[in-house]
Structure 1
Amino acid sequence: MKAVVFSGTTEGRRFSKKLAALGAEVTVCVATPLGAEEQGEMAGITVHAGRLGPDAMAALLTGADLCVDATHPYAVDVTRNIRAAAAQAGVEYRRLLRARSPLPEDCVVFGTAAQAAEYLAGTKENILLATGAKELAAFAPLDPARLYPRVLPTPEGIAACEAAGIPHRNIIAMQGPFSCQLNKALIEQFHIRYLVTKDGGAAGGFAEKVQAAAETGVQLVVLRRPEEVGETEAGLFTHCQEILKWSH
């Protein structure tokens, strides 16, 4: 069985390794060298690093038995492209979902980063942006001196901060997920009053952010997760076992 896993997430790494252990021939696609570094090396797995357009995705999927989309829950455009590429290549597409987190009652929730930025425009205190480099442009209209973005320690992450006019002393370039203690230390160090985050689930350290916000009294601002349909890791793994059983 040949499977292509579009990954860059904890679930994608875990699932691709379980598939390879079953004897499947797995190609894992990640967008960045950092994703490849996190994936690591394992027999039965070939890693492809670099962003792909729909046509390149379809070419990579040609001859595969299964396409597994294990990309981040907020990577809506990527998921759309993968689904289209699988259809183009005539390969079965399956979406691996990350479980949602319960949201605390006292958090404020918005559908987009722009809406969150609009809400924050009416405030004066410091903001810890734990939403990733891609969302930074939406917060650029706010006073950059108030913004403390936590981004991946990559040239792209730093460049996104610079493009948004963030002072270098405010840039927190680190790779998560982070403990509650570290979140609290950053909140206290930079006198944070608002913590903006996505519901990244357990793999994204969401619970630790919720706890840190509760224990320091900062306002938690959550970007709502896009609605999507898919299946659990256990359900998809069972499906793969069935495919392998029939292919022998």
Structure 2
Amino acid sequence: MILVFGGTTEGRIAVSTLDEGEGGYFYSTLSDAQEIECAHGTRISGSMSADSMLSFCKQHGIRIIVDAAHPFATRLHDTVAVTADRLAIPVIRLERLPADCESDHIIPCSDFNDAIGKMRHDGVTRLLALTGVNTISPLKPFWEKRETFFRILDREDSVKKALDAGFPTSRLIYYRPDDTPRLISELHPNAIITKESGASGGFAEKVQAAIQHNILIYVVRRPPLPKSFITVEGTHGLRRAIERLLPQFYPLHTGFTTGSCATAAAKAALIALLTGEKRTEITFRIPEGERMAMSVKSVETRDEDATATVIKDAGDDPDVTDKSEISARVAFARHEGIRFSGGEGIGIVTLPGLGLEVGEAAINPVPRRMITEELTALYAGGLDVTISLKGGAELAARTFNPRVGISGGVSIIGTSGIVRPFSHEAFVESLCREMNVAIAMGCRPIVVNSGAKSEKFLKKLFPALPPQGFIHYGNAIGEIMTISRDLGVESLVIGILIGKAVKLAEGHIDTHSHKTTFNRDFLLNVARECGCSQEASVAISGMNIARELWSILSPSDAEMFFQEILRRCHEQCARIYPGNLESILLSDDGSIFYSSRSYLSRESNKSTK
């Protein structure tokens, strides 16, 4: 069993991550104020002393504690540390992602006493405090003599705490979302004080408001955590930590993409080149912002270059590059910026449509960006980066690369940095679990999409939907429709990228490249049947991969062609799932999409005439 301490945004992330597993867990909050559904967990509330926490862990066989509580909940952190030490239980600290903002307006403070001293020294006389009701007492030496407004939650217990501390009710302000700019405009403080709350605490928005009104913002740094805690920053880090500490909790384990491996290797090589240090573990950030860690197999240095090698861990995904050696050679260069090249086992792009120039090494844009961000943070000069994958030429023959115009090796890929397991039977079971969670959470609609890329686009269309409402179907479109039908899902949205859409439109409900391939003749028939021009047929005859369709068709042909493709996709899905279904065709950059609502509306209008 796992015990989670939450009550925060990170608590919700923990619940969402744990509900993907098969094990049980407890979700503990101080009060019942947070509304949250735990599909596989038991909700508990109330304060725990060291003795009661110790007793609870013994009674329920707790194997891992996840501390997802507020960064400033120091008493809880200390109690967790004492309990974990006595019972030899590992603690995973789900920490908040740092807010990406720097400004001369920020005055860092080690604690509230430090903040009081700095505000007095700087002559602050009118303060807006955004630090919460529990900080009224620590800041009393300041607000007793200087005009201070406190923003607190509009709850009876919060008001009572403020009154008990002797704070005047006339200067209490009740929290409203995104109201910091308005409060500054109305109250005219000459400073703000807040906690280093991180991205989920709205820290960046507070800093921006202070900059906009040209006032100082005093930031109380997070208190240090116990050194024994294992710190992670999001769902991927949390899941991988649990997979390592309690392997049976998840039936299948995640892994790293080749892009993440190349990033870790390149960073290890540059550190060795700059400092001579040969690290055995490297931290780096994946595209979602989480900091991850990866072991380094070896590092070799010379005067002007260094090479580091990592071992690809694909988890339980049947990836042909699993356990391969991925190396990065980094060398000083006279040119500006970073130039990439492919070494042993890395393919060359021979056809357009892959987002890379013909003749370039098959190192995709997202891994290039990951590597660039990590290396430029360490070194401002020019660098040459060469990525290699041992045995890549032989492995490429077992992939789809030759069909899409990548010759001589594999691709360095990955849009999320993380590989999720796709063993088909277990994957379908995981789809059922995720769908059940979405239903339990009351998600409406439920949005199904092929992976991280399409999910990113769809989240912009459904910003109010919680993370549990988005489910990745991979290639199992038929299975996700069947699951949705059998579980009685009332409203479903399916997002489809063009590569899978042309296969689904032809009637293939499993779009894996091993099961079905790109069919040019089918697309020519579609173009003719929907009235596209002869130029469209000529363009389709010369194409090599589906994503070229976005660029080779004229606007008028594209409108007819993509609507027809989507109509056929919608019909294939509707044959299985009879509920309220919307189908959305997404372009590769998410800027263009066609929805089934448009043609369904036209068909309805026709039937009433």
- Please classify the TM superposition score into its range, dividing by the shorter chain length: 0.7 to 0.9
Task: Name the stretch that deviates more: 96-105 or 183-192.
Answer: 96-105
Letter of the structure 2 residue corresponding to residue 71 of structure 1: A
Structure 1 contact 69–96 (Cα < 8 Å) conserved: yes
Task: Name the counterpart of 2:40.
Answer: 44
Structure 1 contact 157–173 (Cα < 8 Å) conserved: no
Find out whether 1:215 has 2:207 as its counterpart: no
1:26-58 per-residue CA deviation (whole Å, 9 max, x = no partner) reads 201111222xx33x2232121111111011111
Structure 1 contact 20–26 (Cα < 8 Å) conserved: no
Structure 2 contact 92–241 (Cα < 8 Å) conserved: no
Q: CA deviation at 1:5?
A: 0.4
Task: Name the counterpart of 2:96.
Answer: 98
Task: Name the counterpart of 2:171.
Answer: 170
Q: Aligned equivalents of 2:168 and 2:136: distance in 1?
A: 13
1:188-244 per-residue CA deviation (whole Å, 9 max, x = no partner) reads 111221100011011100000001001111211111222345223222211323524
Q: Aligned equivalents of 2:76 and 2:6: distance in 1?
A: 11
Q: Per chain length, whose mean CA-contact separation is higher, i.e. which structure has more relative contact order (CA < 8 Å, sep 6+)?
A: 1
Q: Aligned equivalents of 1:235 and 1:136: distance in 2?
A: 35
Q: 1:231 to 1:247 in 2, by over 3 A?
A: closer
Letter of the structure 2 residue corresponding to residue 236 of structure 1: L
Find out whether 1:19 has 2:23 as its counterpart: no
Structure 1 contact 61–91 (Cα < 8 Å) conserved: no
Task: Name the counterpart of 1:153.
Answer: 154
Q: Aligned equivalents of 1:192 and 1:84: distance in 2?
A: 42
Alignment match of 2:198 (pick from 197, 201, 224): 201
- 1:15-164 matched pairs, under 5 angstroms: 15-34=14-33, 37-38=34-35, 40-62=36-58, 63-101=61-99, 102-122=101-121, 123=123, 125-144=125-144, 146-164=147-165
Structure 1 contact 147–166 (Cα < 8 Å) conserved: no
Task: Name the counterpart of 1:236.
Answer: 238
Alignment match of 1:227 (pick from 215, 224, 229): 224
SS at match of 1:121: helix
Segments of 4+ in structure 1 off by > 3 A?
Answer: 244-248
- 1:174-185 matched pairs, under 5 angstroms: 174=175, 178-179=177-178, 182-185=179-182
Higher helix share: 1
Structure 1 contact 158–173 (Cα < 8 Å) conserved: no
Q: Which runs of 5+ in 2 are unaligned?
A: 252-609
Q: CA deviation at 1:167?
A: 2.1
Higher-Rg structure is 2
Q: 1:157 to 1:121 in 2, by over 3 A?
A: farther
Structure 2 contact 17–238 (Cα < 8 Å) conserved: no
Structure 1 contact 99–201 (Cα < 8 Å) conserved: yes
With the length of structure 1 as denominator, give the TM-score of the two structures: 0.87
1:102-133 per-residue CA deviation (whole Å, 9 max, x = no partner) reads 44233111111122123333535321111112
Task: Name the counterpart of 2:324.
Answer: none
Task: Name the stretch that deviates more: 147-156 or 94-103.
Answer: 94-103
SS at match of 1:21: coil
Percent identity between the two aligned chains: 25
Q: 1:70 to 1:246 in 2, by over 3 A?
A: closer
Structure 1 contact 3–26 (Cα < 8 Å) conserved: yes
Structure 2 contact 7–30 (Cα < 8 Å) conserved: yes
Q: 1:246 to 1:208 in 2, by over 3 A?
A: closer
Q: What do you get for the CA RMSD once the two structures are aligned?
A: 2.2
Task: Name the counterpart of 2:9.
Answer: 10
Q: 1:133 to 1:103 in 2, by over 3 A?
A: farther
Q: CA deviation at 1:8?
A: 1.5
Task: Name the counterpart of 2:183.
Answer: 186
SS at match of 1:142: helix
User: Number of aligned pairs?
Assistant: 240
Structure 1 contact 59–89 (Cα < 8 Å) conserved: no
Q: Aligned equivalents of 1:45 and 1:246: distance in 2?
A: 13
Q: 1:3 to 1:236 in 2, by over 3 A?
A: same
With the length of structure 2 as denominator, give the TM-score of the two structures: 0.37
Q: 1:43 to 1:120 in 2, by over 3 A?
A: same
Q: Aligned equivalents of 1:165 and 1:116: distance in 2?
A: 20
SS at match of 2:19: helix
Task: Name the counterpart of 2:403.
Answer: none
Q: Aligned equivalents of 1:131 and 1:97: distance in 2?
A: 18
Q: Which runs of 5+ in 1 are unaligned?
A: none
